[in-house]
Amino acid sequence: MLFCILDLKIYTVIFLFVYLVLQFGFTTIFVAAFPLAPLLALLNNIIEIRLDAYKFVTQWRRPLASRAKDIGKLFVCVFVMCACYF
C-alpha cells in the first residue's frame, strides 16, 4: 500500500490564530445586528475542529514542534478588540 501524506506547510499556527482573531472580531462587531452570530461561530468552530482532526490524522505528516515566546502581534490585536468592547 502506498500512502500519500502531505507536508504541513500551508497550515501553520499563525494562520489559525489570524483566523480565530478575525472570527472573534466579526462576531463581536455584528452581534447587535445578527444575534445568532455567536451560535453560528460556535457551530463553525465545532465542525472545523472535527475536519481538522480528520486531516491531521489521515492526510498530513506530524508537524515538528517549535517553541514560541507568545503569539506576537496578534496579542495586541486581541487586546485592542477586547478593550474596545468592555
**Spans in the chain with pLDDT lower than 70:** 1-14, 61-63, 85-86
Residue with cell 445568532: 36
Residue 39 confidence (pLDDT)? 94
What percent of the chain has pLDDT above 70?
77
How confident is the model at residue 86, as a pLDDT? 59
pLDDT value for 11: 57
pLDDT of residue 65: 73
pLDDT given at position 3: 56
Q: Considering the entire predicted model, what is its pTM? A: 0.58
